[in-house]
Amino acid sequence: MLRQTRIAPRVLERDAFGALIDRLAADGRRVIGPTRRDGAIVYAEIAGEKDLPAGWGDEQAAGRYRLRPRADKALFGYAVGPDSWKRWLRPPRRTLWRAKRTNGSFEIVRDDADAAKLAFLGVRACELAAVAALDDALLAGPHPDKAYAARRANALLVAVNCGSPAGGCFCVSMKTGPKAQAGFDLALTEIIDANGHRFMVEAGSDAGVGVLAALPTRKARQADLAAASAVIDGARERMGRTLDTDGLKQRLADRPQDRGWDRIAERCLACGACTQVCPTCFCATVEDHTSLSGNEAERVEVWDSCFTGRFSELGGGQVRETTAARYRQWMTHKLSSWHDQFGTSGCVGCGRCIAWCPVGIDITEEAAAVGAPPEDRT
Ligand code: SF4
Ligand code: SF4
């Protein structure tokens, strides 16, 4: 269990950053961190600091994502890419059980919870909020997801406060960032200024304190603290988007017939890309497969999306037949009924759905437009 642990921040110089990855690996953890792959930042297993996207940032807008080189060689100079930690906590495809015919009977092999120790390096503040949202959805109910619980319990979270928000970011509006507030074991702030390239490191749990104690750090000076604050303040001021959440929950809930849903549906392809990249979307379906011989079978859990027709099939028919109804379901769940279910927003303001929507549909614009007078709609 994470808890806030009060010890003074320390400073890790850039030249010693590899010691952090080495320490996490020495604890027997698979270290998962940002890498550059296929023109995007993707979370993958890393062997050392050489695997990090040093000197790469990103440019994001509605329907647009590009990596751009940075002159300052920052290790975490990007915002968030299409990937999220849910891929590691709740994989897109997972075998629940297998059955094999042996000696005229069936042997059932259940999926054992993955017990590998993990360390997530580079978790953004909005992503900490997303993990907390997944915890609410997958752990808190009467039937917790045991595989998720095992992965979650085995994951140490190293957050990195944001210094370079993207065009789609609106974590300030959602009160989830850009500074990591809770839910981390360690939190880093990358500082590059006249005093050098370094990281301020704060511990948020006993496990984090243990890792921090083993690193070659020094005490943070006043200049380090001021520089770290400036990084976060700068990010706060450069948010790409805003979303006015005052009254939003009720406004969306009260307007299931709003013309705004139809206007979105005129552009929406119902492709489901927004749900795949969203770090809090957790819907899944199960598929059964049998071998042609009939001797083997398996049940597989696969990510699904409220934009697919089969996902809304109930009693032989679709309860949400139109794209307008599916988009309405998605957005009202994120921004309205999630509050009723879990007491928070289901949207953490990461902006992924904006950048990765192939037609550039922007949740902040659409949420503002639902219920707005026609003359105020963009
Ligand atoms: S709805 Fe969009 S902005 Fe909100 S958490 Fe999901 S991907 Fe991020
Ligand atoms: S909003 Fe965009 S990403 Fe989401 S289903 Fe529609 S077209 Fe696809």
Q: Is 346 in the pocket of ligand 1 (CB under 6 A)?
A: no
Whether the bond between 178 and the residue before it is cis, its omega within 30 degrees of 0, is: yes
Residue 227, in any domain of the structure: yes
For ligand 2, residues with CB inside 6 Å are 268-274, 307, 357-359, 361
Residue 270, in any domain of the structure: no
Cα–Cα distance, 316 to 319 (Å, whole number):
9
Atom of ligand 2 nearest to the CA of 353: 3
Report the nearest-CA residue for atom 7 of ligand 1: 278
Residue 264, in any domain of the structure: no
Report the nearest-CA residue for atom 8 of ligand 2: 271
pLDDT of residue 319: 86
pLDDT of residue 131: 98
State pLDDT tens for residues 176-216.
Answer: 999 999 999 999 999 999 999 999 999 999 999 999 999 99
pLDDT of residue 112: 65
Query: What is the token pair recorded at 250?
Result: 């009720």
Residue 178, in any domain of the structure: yes
- Give the domain extent around 158: 10-90+114-237
Residue 273, in any domain of the structure: no
Nearest ligand atom owner, CA of 352: 1
Residue 330, in any domain of the structure: no
Q: Is 352 in the pocket of ligand 1 (CB under 6 A)?
A: yes
Q: pLDDT band for position 90 (50/70/90)? A: very high
State pLDDT tens for residues 275-314.
Answer: 999 999 999 999 999 999 989 999 999 999 999 988 888 8
Q: Which residues, including other chains, have CB under 8 Å from residue 153's CB and lie 6 or more apart?
A: none
Q: pLDDT band for position 3 (50/70/90)? A: low
**pTM for the structure as a whole:** 0.94
Assess contact for 281 and 275: CB atoms under 8 A.
yes
Residue 186, in any domain of the structure: yes
Q: How far is CA 190 from CA 11, 116, 158, 161, 196, in A?
A: 10, 28, 13, 8, 11
Q: pLDDT band for position 103 (50/70/90)? A: confident
Count of the separate structural domains present in the chain:
1
Q: pLDDT band for position 232 (50/70/90)? A: very high
Report the nearest-CA residue for atom 6 of ligand 2: 268
Residue 85, in any domain of the structure: yes
Query: Is a pLDDT exceeding 90 seen at residue 144?
Result: yes
Mutate to test the pocket of ligand 1, among 136, 278, 336, 362 (most ligand atoms within 8 A of CB): 278
Q: Is 177 in the pocket of ligand 1 (CB under 6 A)?
A: no
